[in-house]
Amino acid sequence: MQQIEFDLGDPGFTLLHQAGLAGLWMTLKQLEQEKVSPLGKLKWQLDRRHIFLSWEGQDLEVLNWLLQESFQLVNGLISLRGLDSKSMRIESQVIVHQGMLGTFLQHTSTHKAEGTETQNFQLEDDQPPAIVTYKFLKSYVHQEFAKSLCDQKGKFLQKPMSVAGWLNPGAVVRHIAFSSSTSFEERPEQAFVLLFAPIACYYFLLRSKLRDKRAQYALIIPEVTDLEKYASYRQNTHLREASYKDFFASGLGDAGLRFLTYETTADIAKQFGVKRCQVLTLGTVAWAAQQKTRTDLYVVEANAKVCDNYRICCDWLSDRIMPGKNGSFVASSFARELIAENLAKKQPWYTGFADKINSNQLFEKLTYEKRGLYQMVQKAKWDEQDKLFVQVCHEAIKFTYGQISKNTKSGEVPNFERATVRIRTGLSRCKSSATFREFITDFWSRAGRLPTLQKHWSELMDYVTGQRNWKKARDLALLALASYKKDEVDGEDDGIDEEEEMIDIDVE
């Protein structure tokens, strides 16, 4: 008889191993619920932190049966027993299918396909459907992995084994010439657990304006502290029955925070055992254009303040469904990408605006969402003095525009754009506390009498003198410029570039 015990606290487990153990737990629980008769007297015991497996008969036959039952295909789509994929809506099934193909199974050697399949998904009632094309699979490596876990006699391996990159996305051999010394090895029990990680993980398709193709997919790896609680979280309606438009994230931080805040509460750690998650991106790089490579990794934790600010961000800087030449597409929020990246890193939500918005093109993209940014300024939970600084800058911009209107000849259109460009380029030239102090004092003095500045002069002097971080003040000034909302903006163009934002799923 073969016996194996898995412990969530195993010191050799990474977050991906813990996710794999959760995926195995979910699979075995689903087999119980479906009352599937196991092969070889396979038995298991499940609790919140352990799984105990035992079976009789040939190891290869029993493991092969379990993997065949766990990893299936239905009409060319990956079907995971642990998620009860067969009963999920078709959009959710396609999300799992494409998510796995873009992360764990991104290399063509991991699966066999016969052509493609196309589905039309209604993203919004008053818009044409989105046209989604994906691979129609015949098989994938998880289904046949039992033979890799056993020796030639069909016995479960007793020594460490080399681990292929698809079992641990991003952990690849960097130098093929030295594969023997740089490859990854795992105990066979650990490799078995990694097989089930795709069940517990979650997936997003990225539409980043900062990372471009370097980040196409985001893989969410949860930190699991309670197997039963996490299973209930992964099976909740928001995750299990997601619509196709929920598959998109604007960036890495957005993906991680969206996963952690599907339940609208900050104490998900208490309710579901999910304290934080690891988010890694997979995209193309110049030296390996034929496959997706790990391009970034964050550990994201959602506390009460982060959750509240992210929820405000999503309310006012949401994605939009737009009509295109070939169906609808998702227009992702650039401002939310910037803000969510900061929230995920536990930084002030405006951090780095001045460094990242370093061109007129990016500034224009940001100002397309000035209404949402203005609401973020007003409603977010942040330092009151920072908010006062932005308010002073808003007043300075207002009075500057007022002077332009006053000096514009009758019948001509006031050229506010020239003033905006002058302010932005002036900020971009600030490379030290001295140059920023020169810029901000000149900007405020030219605007004239600023009521908020006069009332709160002593509180705001640190921003001017540089005693506070001058780069922070520069970020706040750019935020003020991008979020300034004047009455004339109601008829402005929404700035969506149809060709840039079209849904384009790589099925190769």
Mean of the pLDDT values across residues 91-98? Answer: 94
Q: Is the pLDDT of residue 380 over 80?
A: yes
Q: Is the pLDDT of residue 192 over 50?
A: yes
Cβ 353 vs Cβ 210: under 8 Å: no
pLDDT in tens, 39-79: 878 999 999 999 999 999 899 999 999 999 999 999 999 99
pTM of this structure = 0.86
Q: Is the pLDDT of residue 369 over 90?
A: yes
- As a whole number of angstroms, the distance between CA 428 and CA 359 comes to 9
Mean of the pLDDT values across residues 211-238? Answer: 84
**Both tokens assigned to 259:** 């996963």
Q: Is the pLDDT of residue 442 over 50?
A: yes
How do the domains of the chain map onto residue ranges?
A: 2-172+179-302, 313-406+416-491
**Distance between terminal CA atoms of the chain?**
44
Mean of the pLDDT values across residues 337-341? Answer: 95
Q: Is the pLDDT of residue 487 over 70?
A: no
Burial of 210: CB neighbours in 10 Å, binned 0-12, 13-18, 19+: middle
The amino acid at residue 444 is W
Q: What is the pLDDT of residue 177?
A: 41
pLDDT in tens, 386-430: 999 999 999 999 999 988 888 887 777 778 888 899 999 999 999
Q: What is the pLDDT of residue 171?
A: 63
> What are the angstrom distances between the C-alpha of 386 and each of 275, 376, 460, 463, 466?
30, 13, 9, 9, 14
Q: What is the pLDDT of residue 283?
A: 64
Bridge pairing between strands 248-249 and 202-206? parallel
pLDDT > 90 fraction of the chain, expressed in percent and rounded:
56
Q: Is the pLDDT of residue 291 over 60?
A: no
Q: Is the pLDDT of residue 91 over 80?
A: yes
501 φ, ψ to 5°? -100, 0
What does the radius of gyration of the chain's CA atoms come to, in whole angstroms?
27
- As a whole number of angstroms, the distance between CA 324 and CA 61 comes to 51
* Beta bridge partner(s), residue 3: 54
